[in-house]
Amino acid sequence: MSKRSFILAMVFSSLFGGIVAVVGFTLISPQERIIQQTSGGANPVSLTNYVFDSADFIVPEGLNFVFAAKNATPSVVHIRTSYSDGSRANSPFNEFFKDYFGERYDRRGGPSRGAGSGVVISPDGYIVTNNHVIENADDIEIVLNDNRSYQAKVIGVDADTDLAVLKIDEENLVAAKYGDSDDINIGEWVLAIGNPYEFRSTVTAGIISAKGRNINILDGDYRIESFIQTDAAVNPGNSGGALVNLNGELVGINTAIASPSGAFAGYSFAVPVSLVKKVVSDLVEYGAVQRALLGISIRDVNAQVAEQFDLDILKGVYVGGVMQGGAASKAGLEDGDVIVAIDDRPVNSVAQLQEQIAIKRPGDEVTVKFIRDGREKSVIAELRNEAGTIDVVELASDYRIEGATFVDVSDDIKSKLDIDGGVQIAELGPGKWREVRMKEGFIITGIDNEKIRNIRDLENYFKRPRTDGILIEGVYPDGSKAHYGLGL
């Protein structure tokens, strides 16, 4: 090879090597690589080393807490409650606060105050929160994210799901957007927004740890526990606040924490928004929840149940009994069936089945998929209410117990006697009320130092188990006060 040819070869080799090095660096350098994330043919939306403003555009996939926080925080409110007679201490949720919020939140007797969170769900002032946040409160104050303050009235409560709807007189509020709790996945990122320890508008992040979780904190024959479990930090004051996805959409209402000390210990629980929407709609429209029932007794399928009943399946919900004349009976379900899906949504636990039924109303039809004798079958069931009908259940206007019928006190009587509520005996038949010489017209204003303002308070009081006598206080229409001891 001539000297000239050798020089040309060296130049070409060097040039080629440089090109390879540049191209190779471009292909493998993680700091400069361009990420082509597009949606429907859109331009690239991000670079790996570029901090973007999510207010300008939404990343279809990826981790972005800023956008969700900006969109959801304005809808979350601070709720302040006051209890003039210590009625909070007598709440059935007192043990709930002890178990989940620690002993230092157990307040007994005397004037007290409470705090929690809520979520604006409509521009005209409807707010959803937990029932235990406002239960027995004499005064409910709502503080918006922009510090405006309002007095709230209770539209309706549902102890079976621990939800309540409040209303303030305001328009053009920033309302939360509903997401889809059925379609969220375990491992998906979520944000918890609320007011822990009076720290306003606090945002914490975590993932969905589990779905359909039953933690046995609610009472009642028709309680629904199908909580979303997360590891987003939730503390006292977060109850009633928002659990949102990365689009800032509401997927749950934060309700409880599992904690031996009262502080966050790694797990929190939220009512799924699918159930929230149903309960809120019922309370606003009817004043009472329209509870749909299949009419069956059920239990989770596990290895022990499968062995006991000789099942060849280790998932689903075992039907232990079918109520005659109920929805399941009319549809053809039988004892020993194993339900595996409702409306094509898998149900692997009692909690999951209850949630899918609870989002329906009496008269709605559901497709029930089940296993019988090793074969998969399906039927269509028309759901019924507790009375076995599809009629609308109205908010109770009276309450009957032990021979007495009670009604809410009229506004005229409240004004005349200067009382803020109570229940009045409208009819008095044979029974323990008459035995203690109580007379028709008597107005109960309190039981065992717990204020009774309306029929709902009275009904909730007597739902709780009683093991001894009760002390009743009240007033007659002529203004004379009276106290009675009653054994029930």
Query: Using CA atoms, how far apart are residues 401 and 425, in angstroms rounded to an integer?
Result: 11
Instruction: For residue 418, give both structure tokens.
Output: 């200067």
CB 423 within 8 A of CB 436: no
427 membership: H or E segment, kind and range:
strand 423-428
Q: What are phi and psi of 82, to 5 degrees?
A: -135, 150
2 as an active site residue: the answer is no
Query: Using CA atoms, how far apart are residues 181 and 1, in angstroms rounded to an integer?
Result: 76
Give the start-end residues of each E strand in 33-137: 34-35, 46-47, 76-83, 112-120, 126-129
78 as an active site residue: the answer is no
Give the CA dihedral 457, 462, 463, 465, nearest 10 degrees: 140
DSSP state letters, 351-387:
HHHHHHHHTS-TT-EEEEEEEETTEEEEEEEE-B-TT
H-type alpha helices, 113-162? 131-134
Query: Using CA atoms, how far apart are residues 471 and 20, in angstroms rounded to an integer?
Result: 91
From the candidates 54, 181, 239, 268, give the one annotated as an active-site residue: 239
Query: Using CA atoms, how far apart are residues 281 and 243, in angstroms rounded to an integer?
Result: 19
Name the one residue in this structure whose structure tokens are 């929407």. 277
162 as an active site residue: the answer is yes
From the candidates 132, 181, 274, 282, give the one annotated as an active-site residue: 132
Catalytically active residues are 132, 162, 239
